[in-house]
Amino acid sequence: MARRTPTQDPRLRDLLTSASEADLAERLAAARKFELAALWAEAHPAPVEDAVVDELGDLVMFGDQPITLAGEGAPGMSEFAVAEFTAACGMSAYQGRNFLGAALEAKYRLPKIWAKTMSGEIPVWKVRRVTDRTHRLNPTAAAHVDRQLAPVLATCSWAKVESEVETAAAVADPEHAEGERLDCSAQAQVETAAAVADPEHAEGERLDCSAQAHLDIALTDGRLNRGLVPITGLLEYTDALALEAQIKAGAHALLVDHPELDLDTRRAMAAGQLGGDAAAPREVVIYAHHQPDEAHGIVTVEGGHVPYATIDQLVEWCTTRGTKVSIRPVLDLSEEITVDRYAPTARQREQAILLTPTCVFPHCSKDARGCDLDHITAYSQGGKTTSWNLAPLCRFHHRVKTFSTWTYRRTSRTSFIWTSPKGRVHPVDLTDVTDEHRRRTR
């Protein structure tokens, strides 16, 4: 078969050239943002002791605090300065902390990698994968990682990066690496010998292992699994045996009423019934909203753990034997509820949450149910405890607003305008978030 001659179309070459130039520009833009993050942190050093002590000499725990976001040798910074950076860059507080910390880690502890990043040779995303691993290392180990990875980081895979970080850390800190190197069998031999020589110490070690037992029920992941909640954990062997016996017995008992269900489903149902008193009611609290033009049959249990469910699923949950259903009246979200005291009522709090389901600080998505209810105009400055003057703020942004010069005002039931200490204006409109929340709870 004859070889095909490649098409020499100059337009295609130009496309590749343009794509390559765009890729470099993208790397340089990301590098510039990374550099600006480090410069911002440097311009806002960690507050000195006087900055967190009041006039009486008492430590002010709620004001601006020094925070350390990178490893040993990198500077700390002002906690409140994170808020202004994240608002300007469209990040959450968590994202901003990670980004600022990675920039400081790279600049101060990985200078060779930093230089190549600033030139666009190494993409920022790959540098951040390295800083995730190095910020726990001592300065010697971090410097060794920097020397080893700087020449190859631009082209190597993540598996190679991970291997190089571990190897470099082992060379720089062999004692730590040796402790990590011991495999399970070797460790078991050490523990056996220790138990024979020092039974009291061995018992203490056994208790330490028991302390590692845990059970995690990831309710928030229910939204990712159509209402099914992942459960993980570690149990003592004897506890695990007892749990298995109860689940096995429960699954077998369910076979009488549910012969159509497979064993896995019955085991899951049996686990859900563990520890429950058959005579004790199970309560499901529902917000019952009705929208005549929505006939799709999809509902949501308020609270967000299971954002979408069918009406049939809801009926099944509510009609399970022993379940008690409590339906609360719908709040009028346009009502102006006012009380002559500082603390908002439960009704005011519920109204505020339904109006704005998240923290109202720019780009913060913390669930309002876990937030503080803030007086937009402080109560001490004449602000009333009324619906228009109340909004949910997560604890960090509540502190930022209360103990710094951030201010905000409400422009509608679901819109706000924030002004930062540097004078930047940040409009926040939660109308779409609120509308989506209402649709999911009707």
Q: What is the pLDDT of residue 181?
A: 54
Q: What is the pLDDT of residue 298?
A: 66
Q: Which domain holds residue 152?
A: 19-179
Last residue of a domain, one of 159, 179, 199: 179
| pLDDT tens-digit readout, 395-431 | 999 999 999 999 999 999 999 999 999 999 999 999 8
Q: What is the pLDDT of residue 404?
A: 92
| pLDDT tens-digit readout, 204-231 | 555 555 456 778 787 766 555 556 778 8
More confident residue, 300 or 359: 359
Of 40-44, 49-53, 76-80, 348-352, the least confident:
49-53
Question: What are the respective helix, strand and coil percentages of the chain, to the nearest 5?
Answer: 50, 15, 35
**Percent of the residues in the chain that have a pLDDT greater than 70, as a whole number:** 69
Residue 313 has pLDDT above 80, yes or no: no
Whether 407 maps to a domain, the answer reads: yes
Q: What is the pLDDT of residue 290?
A: 44
More confident residue, 279 or 302: 302
Q: What CA–CA distance (Å, rounded) separates 231 from 229?
A: 6
Residue 441 has pLDDT above 50, yes or no: no
Whether 255 maps to a domain, the answer reads: no
More confident residue, 233 or 324: 233
145: how many CB neighbours lie within 10 A of its CB?
28
Mean pLDDT of the chain: 79
Q: What is the pLDDT of residue 392?
A: 96
Last residue of a domain, one of 179, 209, 232: 179
More confident residue, 306 or 385: 385
Last residue of a domain, one of 145, 179, 213: 179
Whether 64 maps to a domain, the answer reads: yes
Residue 56 has pLDDT above 60, yes or no: no
Residue carrying structure tokens 């890729």: 23
Whether 268 maps to a domain, the answer reads: no
81-100 residues labelled b (16+ CB within 10 A) or e (exposed): bbbbbbbbbebbbeebbbbb
Q: What is the pLDDT of residue 183?
A: 45
422-431 own/partner pairs: CB under 8 Å, 24+ apart: 422/84, 424/84, 424/87, 424/88, 426/87, 426/362, 428/360, 428/361, 428/362, 430/356, 430/357, 430/358, 430/360
Residue 344 has pLDDT above 60, yes or no: yes
Going from the C-alpha of 4 to that of each of 1, 7, 8, 313, the distances in angstroms are 9, 9, 12, 60
Number of domains comprising the chain: 2
Residue 7 has pLDDT above 50, yes or no: yes
Whether 409 maps to a domain, the answer reads: yes
Q: What is the pLDDT of residue 50?
A: 47
Burial class of residue 237 in the structure, from the number of CB atoms within 10 Å of its CB (0-12 exposed, 13-18 middle, 19+ buried)? exposed
| pLDDT tens-digit readout, 142-190 | 998 899 899 989 888 878 777 777 776 677 666 655 555 554 445 545 5
Whether 396 maps to a domain, the answer reads: yes
More confident residue, 362 or 13: 362
Q: What is the pLDDT of residue 191?
A: 52
Whether 243 maps to a domain, the answer reads: no
> Across residues 112-130, what is the average pLDDT?
94
Q: Are residues 191 and 202 in contact, defined by beta-carbon separation less than 8 angstroms?
A: yes
Whether 126 maps to a domain, the answer reads: yes
| pLDDT tens-digit readout, 10-42 | 888 888 889 999 989 999 999 999 999 999 999
User: What sign for the dihedral angle of Cα 306, 433, 430, 412?
Assistant: negative
Q: What is the pLDDT of residue 431?
A: 86
> Across residues 233-246, what is the average pLDDT?
78
> Across residues 326-350, what is the average pLDDT?
85
**Rg for the chain (alpha carbons), in Å?**
29
Q: What is the pLDDT of residue 264?
A: 82
Q: What is the pLDDT of residue 299?
A: 63
What pLDDT band is residue 439 in, cutting at 50, 70 and 90? Answer: very low
What pLDDT band is residue 329 in, cutting at 50, 70 and 90? Answer: low
